[in-house]
Amino acid sequence: MAASPKHDYYETLGVARGASEDDIRKAYRKLARKFHPDLNPGDKSAEDRFKNVQEAYDILSDSKKRNMYDQVGFYSDNGFAAADPHAGGGARHPNMDFGGFDFSDVLRNAQAEGNARRGSAGTSGAGTSGGGFRDIFSQFFRGGEAGGGEERVAEKGSDLEYGLNITFWQAIKGTQTTIQINRYEECPVCRGTGGNESGSVACPQCSGTGNVTQMAGNMKFNLTCPKCNGRGRLKNACPSCHGDGRITHTESVDVRIPPGAQNGSRLRVAGKGNAGTMGAPAGDLYITTHVEQHPLFHRDGDNIQMKVPVTVSEAGLGAKIEVPTIDGKSLLKIPPGTQNNQKFRLRERGVLNSRKGTRGDQIVQVQLQMPDIRDERTKEILRQLAELQTEDPRKEIWEGQQDS
């Protein structure tokens, strides 16, 4: 992967250049949840933002990648090894062929950008001696060894994200389900080492061609593959995993959704992310719940909201009515003179909060339902009511208009 300097990774995550690993991790998780494609279906801009956030975190969460990015403004893990233009006779590194290319401008630009970045982070700048180009790049861009393979280091596996659709009642009462995930697991043949006693396999980095292309800003370099040193094949590499030490695997994972899960809740399943390399621990699996809407109940945190129709006589004279709750029927007292859209609270009839051990309330909003006036008897009763109530309900509206 080559990280182009078109994005400022610190700006993408909204952190300072001197931010700690913990600050970077918190910022990433917050933005990943906000722009995750599962939570923003059909939103191309959110998808692009999510990719940029993921790319920034991949670089800044790794100390080696971050160190290189801070100094030269981009990162590559394709073994971008630099030739020293000041070496006698135009010496070349076996992984690169620049054909007498003058790196003076590249060196000055890289040093200027690196100094600017380091200056903002409060670190010291680099010198401008004759070996500066090599000094800047060689500590990051390592070529392949003579044996035809790169040195492997133990690295924790990456985390996985999974979106899970559940019903309203599954979220309320909790549920247990089994999901299928695709993840990297340790290769059973080489036990994660990537090695093999004999034979060779096609190099996965260059697909057996022996060459790779590397972009650095606006420059494009054709390089000898650093993984296989241009041979196209890896000696002593495991034929099952092609030297990676991991293979793809579809696995069934049992997931328990606790009661009270909300839309967008994020659950962690430890150790079910991608396997690490060289025996390093696996990453974690994060499951984001997507809760279906209910036709009657509306969830507001731990509270349940609903609307219930009442007659004019029930609202005017008062009544006791039955209303549905997530636990069944409940009796609600409607006092005399109840107004349209007035709300009533049923204590502890809402959703159980598993963390707090408490329940929310149910909020019932009444809606007056006008009678179906078809007979003269009903009309006569309404006329009598109109004679008794002579107040103008719009009086305050007109008074407000006169004041203005």
d(CA 95, CA 82): 8
d(CA 141, CA 135): 11
Strands (E), 8-86: 75-76
d(CA 67, CA 59): 9
Cβ atoms within 10 Å, residue 37: 15
Provide CB contacts within 8 A for 262, sequence distance 6+: 171, 289, 291, 299, 301
pLDDT mean across residues, the chain: 77
Provide CB contacts within 8 A for 234, sequence distance 6+: 148, 149, 200, 201, 202, 203, 227, 228, 242, 243
Q: How confident is the model at residue 90 (pLDDT cuts 50, 70, 90)?
A: very low
Range with the lowest mean pLDDT among 38-47, 121-130, 263-272? 121-130
The pLDDT assigned to 217 comes to 62
Mean pLDDT of 270-283: 89
Tell me if the pTM is above 0.85.
Answer: no
pLDDT digits (tens, 9 = 90+) for 168-194: 999 999 999 999 999 999 888 887 777
Strands (E), 114-157: none
The pLDDT assigned to 225 comes to 84
Per cent of the chain over pLDDT 70 is: 75
Contact between 68 and 110 (Cβ < 8 Å): no
pLDDT digits (tens, 9 = 90+) for 225-260: 877 777 777 767 787 887 778 889 899 999 999 999
- 47-56: long-range contacts, CB 8 A cutoff, minimum separation 24: 52/7, 52/12, 53/12, 53/13, 53/28, 55/3, 55/7, 55/9, 55/12, 56/7, 56/9, 56/10, 56/12, 56/13, 56/28
